[in-house]
Structure 1
Amino acid sequence: MTETDFALPAPEWRVTPGLTPYAEALAAMEARAAAVAAGEERELVWLLEHPPVYTAGTSADPAELVDPRFPVVPAGRGGRYTYHGPGQRVGYLVLDLNARGRDVRCFVHALEGWVIAALARLDLAAFRAPGRVGIWTMDAAGREAKIGAIGVRVRRWVTLHGFSVNVAPDLSHFGGIVPCGLPDFPVTSLSALGNVSDMATFDAALALTLSGFLQTLSCPGQNET
């Protein structure tokens, strides 16, 4: 952490109730990112839910769109196909890496760590998997299963997009795609694992671990030789 980090005002923390159409959220996020880059707005952490939608990242393979039963929208983020829908907490982060360290790999690593720390507060053991971006845990059958996805974009060193965590979605909706291009791994949720099923409890865990995430963004020591 640098002296600059201490001087930054806290990001706006926004929780939007109900279901926000994906295209509407994307436009709002991109407008906020442009304003942050111009120094006209402060950073933003935005928590919301979407109606059912499949989003295509920049590496999406059409062969992995198995059953497009919901709208398919280009997302502009990295990654492949993913699903968003009711019961899934989506977090969009509009953060200024000019002030927090211009290191995208560090940002993704810190973002994974934040979600893992929040899940730990709910007594759910989650972890990173080498070679597989995202948030992983063990499902009821003892298999490695994906409980959260990470997909980001950086423009003018301001971040867009962020994470999604399956709190209590309809997991059958993931069957229309090969989630994140990983056919050999199932998806799971907090609810499916017998954990919490309400957004407010998960949001509270995110809020309690936010400061730790922000403090790790400059990744002290990661670039030392």
Structure 2
Amino acid sequence: MEENADIEWLAERQPVPYRAALAEMTARNAAIREEGARELVWLLEHPPVYTAGTSAAEDELLDPRFEVVTAGRGGRYTYHGPGQRIGYVLLDLTRRARDVRGFVHALEGWVIATLADFGVESWRAEGRIGIWTRDVDGAEAKIGAIGVRVRRWVTMHGFSVNLDPDLSHFTGIVPCGIEEYGVTSLARLGKSVSAEEWDAALLRHADEFLAALGKPCPPTQTGVNA
């Protein structure tokens, strides 16, 4: 991917094991805080894994068929795997608005704008973290997850979007603790989108995302956990 003078944009084409990515992300977060390292937007996929946020409840892990890793981010259980594009966003909010809720709102807006490029209308839902759309049966379903952690005003973790994952893998958990809604993907909605196409569209909206970080968070913001 292209880079600018301030932020490194890194797009992986092979799956990165979750524990390795978490270690790298943690080290980069510290380097940004302590050494002034470049900020990073890191786009990748993981082999199948369930990750547990700080609010994960034991009874929401229904079938631990894959490795389960404690993530350190906010939220509950989330699935990551092939066909799901993940964006780890490591930014120094001391260079922008020191507003965690505003950061999450901007992340959501970035994903929503990018989905629109592929003809998918999506939205925030009051009281339900994540990115939502209409599934093939007309019911609301989750197409993207948001989960962040902020250490001394430097962000880590970020978002995931379902391009074409195996949706049956989500049945091993209660995704993000929400039982009454399903999970969908661009492929299920009839949209064939490669990782390369998604990354390019995301980059096209990057300036809008960065500009939004300096704006106040609307009062309808729902929180910071996936």
| TM-score, normalized by the shorter chain, greater than 0.5 | yes
Residue 203 of structure 2 is aligned with which of 204, 207, 216? 207
Residue 107 of structure 2: aligned partner: 111
- Partner Cα separation in structure 2 for residue 53 and residue 222 of structure 1: 33
Q: TM-score, normalization: structure 1?
A: 0.93
- Partner Cα separation in structure 1 for residue 130 and residue 56 of structure 2: 16
Residue 100 of structure 1 is aligned with which of 96, 100, 106? 96
Query: Which 4+ stretches in 1 moved above 6 angstroms?
Result: none
Residue 119 of structure 2: aligned partner: 123
SS in 2 for 1:201: helix
Alignment of 1:66-105 (within 5 A): 66-105=62-101
Indicate the RMSD between aligned Cα atoms, in angstroms: 1.4
Number of residues paired by the alignment?
216
Percent identical among aligned pairs is 62
Matched AA of 1:124: V
- Partner Cα separation in structure 2 for residue 60 and residue 117 of structure 1: 29
SS in 1 for 2:36: coil
Q: Do residues 170 (structure 1) and 166 (structure 2) align?
A: yes
Distance 1:162 1:61, change over 3 A: same
TM-fit CA distance, 1:9: 4.0
CA contact (8 A) 2:56 2:75 kept: yes
TM-fit CA distance, 1:40: 3.2
- Partner Cα separation in structure 1 for residue 17 and residue 38 of structure 2: 23
Where in structure 1 are there 5+ consecutive unaligned residues?
A: 1-7
CA contact (8 A) 2:102 2:216 kept: no
Residue 3 of structure 1: aligned partner: none
Residue 133 of structure 1: aligned partner: 129
State the Cα deviation string for residues 33-60 of structure 1 (Å, max 9, x = none).
1111124311000000000000000000
Matched AA of 1:99: R
Where in structure 2 are there 5+ consecutive unaligned residues?
A: 220-226
Residue 49 of structure 1: aligned partner: 45
Residue 61 of structure 2 is aligned with which of 65, 68, 79? 65
Q: Do residues 161 (structure 1) and 139 (structure 2) align?
A: no
Residue 23 of structure 1: aligned partner: 19
- Partner Cα separation in structure 2 for residue 15 and residue 41 of structure 1: 18
Matched AA of 1:83: Y
